[in-house]
Amino acid sequence: MANSTLPSDDELIPRLLANDETSYAQIVSAYHGLMVHLARAIVGEAIADEVAQEAWVAVLRALPKFERRSSLKTWILRIVSNTAKSRLRHESRTVSMDESLEESPIVDPARFKPNAHWASPPVMWHADTPDALLASTELRSCISDALSTLPPLQRAAVTLRDMQGLSMEAICKILEVSESNGRVLLHRARSRIQMAIEEHEGQ
Amino acid sequence: MPSCKDITEHSSDYLERNLPWWKRPGYWLHLAMCIHCRRYVDQLKLTIGTISKSPDATPPNISTEEIQAIVEKMKQSTKK
């Protein structure tokens, strides 16, 4: 989803405000895939595209009031995140920060001695590069399953940071969380995936 | 010095160089002495690399027809 041909925000925003069709197409081409990716993380596959399309309409409605406190991309993704969260609330499902920031330990406490040092340390993995790990179909599926069972905000954090490479500052703006909560979301998500790989490797 | 449990709880901050400066010497010292925690942190780093290369990491492709359909919806919304 390259956006190397996308004009700068300063050039693009006035054109979008003037309802320039070419600029609409440019921005949709640059960001729609990413918007669906984020929406998928929060609401799931089935309605992600619908949420992203709904967000475009909201973007156009809100654009005249955009204050440029962030990049246009960050602002658009924040609208996607809010649209997705509203959709979950509407469907009486929770986008629970409590669930995403739950106090449960990162690693099973039973793996530590009373002095908090390892009783059951990490096992060696069969591979030491991402490509070698992903060569296993079973492990790919195990990672995918682990990702799909993460709470929505954890899944969104790992999607934006580890898959899309966005900065933590942008991610916290998009998800409307504090920096410390953003870091907790990300670390919990990564740790759950790590534990899923470890369980697979330990079999 | 931090415990092994502390190391696991702050390993993302360590890898992203976000540990507060006063925690860094203890963290480094623990890693220098503890092979299990070095493995844990290495595996977290590997996990992050694996997530970034997993099939789930690629945003869906969007066709020209889909772009056009969304643009039409956007145009309609501005006429309302």
- List C-alpha distances in Å: B22 to A15, A184, B7, B25, B26: 49, 20, 14, 7, 8
Q: Which residues of A touch B5 (CB under 8 A)?
A: 105, 107, 109, 112, 116-117
Looking at residue A1, its pLDDT comes to 44
pLDDT per position as a tens digit, A132-158 = 999 999 999 999 999 999 999 999 999
Cα dihedral A187, B25, A111, A197, rounded to 10, equals 40
Q: Where are the domains of chain B?
A: 4-79
3-class DSSP assignment, residue A50: helix
Domains (ranges, CATH) in chain A? 9-90 (1.10.1740.10), 97-202 (1.10.10.10)
Q: What is the mean pLDDT of chain B?
A: 94
Contact call for A187 and B11, based on CB within 8 A: yes
ipTM rounded to 2 decimals: 0.92
Average pLDDT, stretch A30-49?
94
Give the whole-angstrom CA distance, residue A189 versus residue A157. 8
Nearest-CA distance from A69 to chain B in Å? 24
